Chains A and B, each alone.
Chain A
Amino acid sequence: MNAVVEPFISVNGLRKLYRKRDAEFLAISDASFEVAPGELVSLVGPSGCGKTTLLKVLAGLQGYDAGQARIGSTTHPFDPSRDIGMVFQQALLLKWRRVLQNVLLPAEILGLPLRESRERARDLLAMVGLSGFEDKYPYELSGGMQQRAAIARALVHDPKLILMDEPFGALDALTREKMNLELLKIWKQSGKTILFVTHGISEAVFLGTRVIVFTAGPARMADNIPIELPEPRTLDIKTTELFGEYSRRIYHLLGME
């Protein structure tokens, strides 16, 4: 079914080395995959398997040593300076700015028209459930609310690609499940392409249209699994046999039966 759609991201034989003094350390060896526009792809694997490095390469923050990483297609052109939104494990809101001003940061940097951006920021805050918190400071928000604001910030300049690096890793289990549902809703509403890095196998399967599995020591891409679970996804599907099968397969790949 993806054959007719030109991929939005195509990574081919990507290899990345870190050099520390005399030692070389392989962060990514030979990663190849494609992502169609509008997909939500989970990248799962243990610490140090190169998932974060891969995001940084795609964000243009780091170079690579061999292979190709291309973003954008004729139908979905990509501007590397304004088409990336990033969300990290820490919300990283600026403590000295109110929530609305925090969400506006990318728009300010890109020099987008302020009035429209402010309008858009308010809409996005409403979408992530933070109406009425525009004038609060980050310290007045809970961890989950801060992360919602960070997601709104990643969307404010209307980027085509959202890179999320364990965005819910610091939240408690219940808040995390709630945020997973929110993210699916936001993804459906915005139609963005999302790459979602996580340690959580269940989270990866629940969110992803596909799960790309990485193994560590040495960092290697182990599998690329399309997830065919019923839509819309609700927490119920976590108890289904199919969900369990996907999870078992990934546990197996990571050598953790």
Chain B
Amino acid sequence: MSDATKSRAAWQIPPEAVRRYTLAIAAHAALILIWYLVVTYGRIPTFVLPSPVATIASLGGSNYHWIGNTLVTASEIFGGYFLSVVIGVAIAILFSWSRTAEETAMPLLVTLNMIPKVALGPLFIVWLSYGIMPNTIMAFAISFFPILLNTTRGFREVEPELLELVRSLHSSKWQTFVKIQLPSALPYIFSGMKVGAILAVAGAIVGEFLGSARGLGYLMLQVQVTLDTPAMFMAVILITLVGVVLYGAVLGLERLVIVRDARVN
């Protein structure tokens, strides 16, 4: 049970994980196979449902600018999401320090959250003009609230007796925050970040639909006119991949930071 054997064991993939990954990959492969068989033997026209092959072939089209459009959409998603995490967690920390601040600002934020963010899209464009900015803000607007809400809850759920324990040792506010409150809240922060990651992707795409000159959402509207369904499929797949990368990064970070037992859901 030395430290060396333990840390090595942590980097080996246990058989149970191998089994789970195999099944997960098999399910994805099966979906693509069924998709292929349905299109090939079901005589479905390409403009309704393109085959996986046709979809991938669309990557070769030079006028789609896949890489550029993907980078634009990804930067909107990551940028908006990053803003949500930083601002959401910062405000939650502020709330944890001042009850008055929470009681003043929270009802207002709840009201603001009731605004359908999509309805603000045209305003964002007026304020920030076409481009990456309004779509980044849309991704932020949609993903911000769940992160704030979960983090606020996390700071509130700290065991009161734990706070008494450190208070009996006259711990400073900073020590209490760093050693008790923040690590206690981390599982909730990640729970909010996971919800937020999915919403940020939707936000950026909605933003592009409302008005933009670049990005995968913009590209979908362009190729829709010519019924270029394979390219639309490819765009959806790339959007999904960007989302998967973001979600995976959050999940990976959570695993690094939080002990198994302390994770929420």
Taking Cβ atoms with an 8 Å cutoff, the residues of A that contact B are: 56, 59-61, 80-82, 84, 86, 88, 90, 92, 94-96, 105-106, 108-110, 132, 135, 137-139, 157
Contacts and interface: CB of A to CB of B under 8 A. Distances in A.
Given A90-B161, A109-B169, A138-B261, 17 more contacts: A61-B167, A82-B170, A86-B165, A86-B168, A88-B161, A92-B161, A92-B165, A94-B162, A94-B183, A95-B261, A96-B183, A96-B258, A106-B169, A109-B166, A109-B170, A110-B169, A137-B261
A56 B168 CA distance: 9
A95 B259 contact: yes
Interface string B34-73: 0000000000000000000000000000000000000000
Interface string B132-172: 00000000000000000000000000010110111111110
B255 interface: no
Contacts, number: 60
A61 B161 CA distance: 11
Interface string B1-37: 1010010000000000000000000000000000000
Contact of A157 (B169, B260, B262): B169
- The SS class assigned to the A binding surface is loop
B180 interface: yes
A61 B261 contact: no
Contacts of B183: 94, 96
Contacts of B240: none
A125 to B, nearest CB: 15
B3 to A, nearest CB: 7
Nearest to B162: A92
Given A80-B170, A109-B179, A95 B164 contact: no
A139 B261 CA distance: 7
Interface string B93-125: 000000000000000000000000000000000
B175 interface: yes
A256 B259 CA distance: 47
A85 to B, nearest CB: 8
Contacts of B262: 95-96
Nearest to A95: B262
